[in-house]
Structure 1
Amino acid sequence: MIDKVQGVSKGEIANRLKEALQQKIDETKAKQDKVLQADGTINWDEIGRTELVDLKLASFLDWEYKATMQANGIMEVKEVDKRTGETRVFATYTVQFIDGKLTVN
């Protein structure tokens, strides 16, 4: 039962991560058109890695979820216990464009 609940939560966090990243990409595209490289991959340097540190995704009960860019296309989401400040890795996602659409797996 716990795995099922965590699976739903991870899916929800993945959706929120996708929305937040799409917003950052759209903001960057409005400023410059270098977000997509010729091979269709994301130019993470143009989006600005510094903006992708502790990107707040969600807050549920006593937990807050923040994403940070780790490497090219890899996002690590951490859970932060608002009561104690304890932080732990919640999930790691791969972000990429497939057929022109942003995907988070």
Structure 2
Amino acid sequence: MSKRPNFIFMAGMIPVLFVVGLLLFLTFDNLLSGRAVYGDKFGNAFEVEGVAAILVNLGIFGVIGWLGSYLAFLVKRSPKLMQFHRAVGVVSSVLIAVGLFYGLS
């Protein structure tokens, strides 16, 4: 790979890393305060607390791991990394769904 596409790839990662860092900061803040807040495009905000918040926040950490495993797959192109990526995605989705269902019911 030449230097130019590699530079463009790395420059494109700057906003992604910024958003991931912001998501990590907000999720840690929510985890330490024992809550998880979810908002939709219609302006509705849902908040869960307790065990449901822990599940949702762990699911969000899983989504961050899901992104990281996909970036690792893009670099290495290993089928095992793709399987790991899919497994992390399923587990994190289930954690978020169960947390929201449990907390909002």
TM band (smaller chain): 0.3 to 0.5
| Greater RCO, CA 8 A, separation 6+ | 2
User: What's the TM-score once normalised by structure 1's chain length?
Assistant: 0.34
Higher helix share: 2
Structure richer in strand, relative to its length: 1
**Structure whose alpha-carbon radius of gyration is higher:** 2
